[in-house]
Amino acid sequence: MNTVFIGGSRDISRLPEEAKKGLENIVSSKHHIIVGDAKGADTAVQKLLHANAYSSVVVYCTGERCRNNVGHWETMNIPASKKDKGFSFYALKDREMARAADFGYMIWDGKSPGTLLNILRLVRSGKKAVLLNAVSNETKNFKHINDWNKFISLAEPSLVQDLRARATPEEWSDDTLPHQRTFLSVAEGAVSQSTIDESALDAINQALAAKDTGAAIQTLGTIAKQHGMSDLARTCGVARESLYRSLSSDGNPELVTFLSVLQAMGLKMTIGKVR
């Protein structure tokens, strides 16, 4: 029997059908469940477990009192100091759940940083996690920190900024996690020992306008080498040799790789009407 950390966003008051199926699988496998005491997804999960008369549950709370414990299950109260307030106060129990769990199942509203940080905490500990986006109904599996890198490299910069602000230095380590940069420009320090020449960007745009994808990819490859191919490969979650081949004169990178490379260098590609 494994211990499953189930969590989610506070804005989710009703569980989507996909989440119910996932929880039913966990229950049928007789896993031990640990869940938080917040409103939203935590309480919705508690209600489903209580409706199924599931007893192998522990509710984690920060401080002496739990806010919600629908099934009157055993509780685990995580002590807090006076300096712990707001998000940092409730994050104490989340960190303990990530430590206690064997794997995690998170139900996300597509914007909550707290839910994503639980994914990061789990994979940082070498544990697997599943993220269900309740808005798009898409499921993402995280088995390694590279899966997190790929996911977060495509996230909105504002979300990444919020994640970095809430995470501890141990959770958000710059030596392995991708650096998010401002779109449309190259952020300070974005290119190692170099800057991106505007003429190179013009060359890529002209090649794309002429449908010469080979020239566009080759020019992007030249910029990538200036940036540092090893750093780019790590940020994009691909092998260095594979990235070299993809950005060579006869390369044919997948769209997600092409966009990931652009974003990692602080660039973006937009689509507009032909004039």
pLDDT in tens, 159-174: 888 998 888 888 887 5
Cα torsion at 97, 101, 103, 108 (round to 10°)? -20
Of 64, 65, 26, the closest CA to residue 45 belongs to 26
| Average pLDDT value for residue range 107-136 | 94
Task: Report whether pLDDT(69) > 50.
Answer: yes
Give pLDDT, residue 272.
64
pLDDT band of residue 273 (cuts 50, 70, 90) is: low
How does pLDDT run across 189-223, given as a tens digit for each residue? 344 334 566 777 777 887 777 778 888 888 888 88
Measured CA distances, 153 to 64, 65, 229, 271 (Å): 38, 38, 16, 20
How does pLDDT run across 92-109, given as a tens digit for each residue? 999 999 999 999 999 999
Neighbours of 10 (CB within 10 A): 17
Task: Report whether pLDDT(12) > 80.
Answer: yes
pLDDT band of residue 258 (cuts 50, 70, 90) is: confident
Read off the tokens for 96.
Answer: 């303990």
| Percent of the residues in the chain that have a pLDDT greater than 70, as a whole number | 90
Neighbours of 252 (CB within 10 A): 12
pLDDT, greater one: 123 or 245: 123
Q: Does this model's pTM top 0.85?
A: no
| Cβ-proximal residues to 186 (8 Å cutoff; 6+ apart), any chain | 195, 196, 265, 266, 267
Spans of all domains in the chain: 3-166, 198-264
Q: How many helices (H) and strands (E) does the chain have?
A: 11, 7
Mean pLDDT highest for which of 33-37, 84-88, 236-240?
33-37
Measured CA distances, 206 to 188, 200, 210, 211, 262 (Å): 26, 10, 6, 9, 16
d(CA 187, CA 180): 9
Q: What is the CATH number of domain 3-166?
A: 3.40.50.450
| Average pLDDT value for residue range 84-92 | 83
